[in-house]
Amino acid sequence: MTKRAKNIFLLIIVIQIFSILGFSFSQEIILRTGEEVILETTPVDPRDIFRGEYVNLRYGISTLTSDQCCFEFLEHDQREEVDYGQTIYVYLEPFEEQWIANKASTSKKGKSNPAHVLIRGKITSIESNCPNTIPDETCKEKEYSIDYGIENYFVPEGKGQEIEQANELKVIARVNSRGIAKISNLIVNGELWK
Amino acid sequence: MADDSEITKFLQNLKSETDEWVNENIISSAQQQIILDRYPYTSFKSSQGKNYSRLVTILATLGAVATGLGAILFIAGNWENMPLIGKLLLAVITIIGTNLIGYWIKYIKDIPRIGNSFFFLGAILFGGSTFLAAQAYHLEANNPDLLFWWLAGVLPIAYLTKTRSVFILSIVILFVWPGWKIFDSDATAQILIPIYLAIGTSTYVIGKIHRERIIPHSFGITLIFTGVISIFASIYLLSFPDIWRDMWSDSQNLFNDNLSLLLLTCLTLMFIISLLLILTIKPINTLLIMNKKLQYYELFILFVLWASAFLVFLNPHFNNSEILFSILFNLIYLLLAVATVFYGIFLKQGSILNLGIIAFSFLLFTRYLDIFLGLLGTGLFLLSIGPVLIIIGFTIEKMRRKILLNFSITGDQSSD
């Protein structure tokens, strides 16, 4: 190996290390500085794969209706058509010790109320809510499924059932200024989960 | 006659001397290979040691896989007992450690095969650590982008250390990633066929450049082999009318899918650049130098394959045309199989010849099943298929042996 190749080799190892540490650092920043929101959730289909056991989470804010989705700007009533896979920003507002979705926009501009939190999501499906007689293309009543990147929670082996069987489950998430959310902890039956 | 130790010494000197020449850009690596191949003793000695070397490589690679999986499972299994910082530190230390040990063993101690297994272990650990870090922060479990991250980290290591096992791992990731990504998106599943046809064609062309110019040449063989398998598999699927019907039932214009379009654009650029490079470099295979025509035929077939990928991507549809398209792709498959056989005969390479014959037999067997399974009852069909298979197998094997025997009389060029 030439000296140059040796240096590149060492550089790549350093990049590998920094990519892992950098990723962890960026996640820690969100967890430490992001705004805290509490979201009501239900566990769906706990799985056991090679990576360990995890719980799939479905939130109240995971489904939006045509009244909520979507507007060009959050504080304007100008409606906007959205498509599958599109990134949207959902306007969260506090309601009885948790946070619910008000409306969504394709732009994160327009948040003027400091009490509100914007969370970034991606449209994963669009379903028509109209009777069969109305074609999908003309139907105005639609239901949008949104993923926020906080749909998986990894747990130690054998603990998935414990979460699945909980009567009440909430997620404490941290959301940064760009709308990226991270799960910080769970509240299972009113208590912080350990 | 010089004794073994003298010849070995001469060959070692020749190898190190030509290595220097390559480093100083006096000769290319391809020319170095030609010089080394001039000495039959080289191949004699290498064939003597080849079996032991392979055993060492297999054992060392298996050891690396076992250790890598063990380390990842250990960290994953002790999830609860280990603080996050501990997990990350463990991952970082093992990645640095295995790569540095690999470097020391391969380049300082001069035991390349064992050193390579450490690089392979390092590559597995990097991938494992990436997934574990994602898991620590509850990132989506089915995330194909993590594969891309893994690939970006290990592919340069494969080239720098010339480690084939790491390269094969990279190619596996490279082939799985687009499939997973498309499957994860809204795109129709049938889009995978033209995408993999385009990937296969590009991989083949890039493999050819590797074979001619990039060290080690074995990377080229890996790319060519994976490319050919991907091409044959895609064309094979397109030879069924049902696939076309499924594609049309979705009534989706495949060009509407942004991800696939982006992939196809990147592959097209890669394909064109690689073709231009191929046309400008001189092949190392003397038989190919002698026959330029063969190279042009090869390029023509590559263009046909590329055009086929585009045709499928356009999703053409008119009444009852599924039979027409399936016939067209049966013909393309047949052309490809026959061309592979002739290419193998011309270059006197048994491996290419075998590949062509296997592909040809596969199509023959499939169409036989298609035609006769419906016509005859199941019992009668099974009764008839046995003798038919034996006759086909016997005929093809006889033909293959005859050609291979001809190779050994005239001198087999195959080195792979």
Q: List, for residues B182-207, the tens digit of each pLDDT value.
A: 877 766 667 788 889 989 998 988 88
More confidently predicted of B6 and A84:
A84
Count of A-B CB contacts under 8 Å: 90
Question: Among residues 310-349 of chain B, which lie with CB inside 8 Å of chain A?
Answer: none
Report the residue from B79, B126, B137 with minimal CB separation from A27.
B137
Q: Under an 8 A CB cutoff, do A24 and B99 touch?
A: no
Structure tokens at B355: 């590949």
Three-class secondary structure assignment of A35-67: EEEEEEEEEEEEEEECCEEEEEEEEHHHEEECC
- Cβ atoms of A39 and A60 within 8 Å: the answer is yes
Whether pLDDT at B82 is above 80: no
Q: Under an 8 A CB cutoff, do B141 and A47 touch?
A: yes
Q: Under an 8 A CB cutoff, do B157 and A9 touch?
A: yes
Q: Which residue of B has its CA nearest to A22?
A: B133
Report which residue type is found at B153.
G
- Cβ atoms of B278 and B299 within 8 Å: the answer is yes
Whether pLDDT at B20 is above 50: yes
pLDDT classification of B38: cutoffs 50, 70, 90:
confident
Looking at every residue in chain B, the average pLDDT score rounds to 78
Whether pLDDT at B154 is above 80: yes
Confidence at residue B1, expressed as pLDDT on a 0 to 100 scale? 45
Question: Which of B109, B219, B222, B227 shows the shortest CA–CA distance to B160?
Answer: B219
**Residue B130: φ, ψ to 5°:** -60, -50
- Mean per-residue pLDDT, B388-393: 76
Confidence at residue B48, expressed as pLDDT on a 0 to 100 scale? 53
Whether pLDDT at B231 is above 90: yes
**Chain A residues touching residue B157 (CB < 8 angstroms):** 9, 12
Confidence at residue B96, expressed as pLDDT on a 0 to 100 scale? 92
Report the residue from B23, B80, B134 with minimal CB separation from A2.
B23
Confidence at residue B76, expressed as pLDDT on a 0 to 100 scale? 65
Whether pLDDT at B171 is above 90: yes
> How far out from the chain centre does Cα A2 lie?
47
- Rounded to whole angstroms, the Cα distance separating B392 from B400 reads 12
B250-267 pLDDT per residue, tens: 655 556 667 777 777 888
pLDDT classification of B283: cutoffs 50, 70, 90:
low
Report which residue type is found at B272.
I
Confidence at residue B264, expressed as pLDDT on a 0 to 100 scale? 78
Report the residue from A6, A12, A20 with minimal CB separation from B157.
A12
Structure tokens at A98: 């948790």
Q: Are strands A98-105 and A117-128 parallel, antiparallel or unpaired?
A: unpaired
- Segments making up each domain of chain A, as ranges: 31-192
More confidently predicted of A16 and B35:
A16
Q: Which residue of A has its CA nearest to B129?
A: A20
- Positions in chain A short of pLDDT 50: 48
Q: Which residues lie below 8 Å from residue B293, measured CB to CB, with a gap of 6+?
A: none
Confidence at residue B114, expressed as pLDDT on a 0 to 100 scale? 85
**Chain A residues touching residue B156 (CB < 8 angstroms):** 8, 12
- Mean per-residue pLDDT, B10-19: 80
Q: Under an 8 A CB cutoff, do B95 and A16 touch?
A: yes
Confidence at residue B416, expressed as pLDDT on a 0 to 100 scale? 38
Cβ of residue B92 closer than 8 Å to a chain A Cβ = yes
- Segments making up each domain of chain B, as ranges: 54-184
Structure tokens at A9: 């080799």
Question: Which of A124, A84, A137, A82 shows the shortest CA–CA distance to B258?
Answer: A84
How many Cβ atoms from other residues are within 10 Å of residue A26's Cβ? 14
Report the residue from A12, A23, A152 with minimal CB separation from B138.
A152
Helices (H) and strands (E) in chain B, counts: 16, 0
- Mean per-residue pLDDT, B124-134: 88
Chain B: closest CA distance from residue A15 (Å) = 8
- Cβ atoms of A35 and A117 within 8 Å: the answer is yes
Structure tokens at A82: 């959205």
More confidently predicted of B408 and B339:
B339
- Cβ atoms of A51 and A61 within 8 Å: the answer is no
Is the ipTM above a cut-off of 0.85?
no
